Amino acid sequence: KQEVTQIPAALSVPEGENLVLNCSFTDSAIYNLQWFRQDPGKGLTSLLLIQSSQREQTSGRLNASLDKSSGRSTLYIAASQPGDSATYLCAAKNFISNFGNEKLTFGTGTRLTIIP
Partner 1 sequence: DVKVTQSSRYLVKRTGEKVFLECVQDMDHENMFWYRQDPGLGLRLIYFSYDVKMKEKGDIPEGYSVSREKKERFSLILESASTNQTSMYLCASSLWTGGGAMIGASDTQYFGPGTRLTVL
Asked if residue 55 binds partner 1 (CB under 8 A), the reply is: no
Span interacting with partner 1, options 17-25, 65-73, 76-84, 103-111, rule CB under 8 A: 103-111
34 interacts with partner 1 by CB under 8 A: yes
- Whose Cβ is closer to partner 1: residue 51's or residue 81's? 51
Q: How far is the CB of 101 from partner 1 (least distance, A)?
A: 6
d(CA 116, CA 59): 23
Sign of CA dihedral 18, 23, 28, 32: negative
Please give the sequence-ordered ranges of beta strands (E in DSSP) within the chain, or none if there are none: 4-5, 10-14, 19-25, 32-38, 44-51, 56-59, 62-67, 72-77, 86-95, 102-106, 110-115
Nearest approach in angstroms of CB 71 to partner 1 is 17
Residues that bind partner 1 (CB under 8 A): 31-32, 34, 36, 41-46, 49, 51, 89, 91, 95, 98-104, 106-109
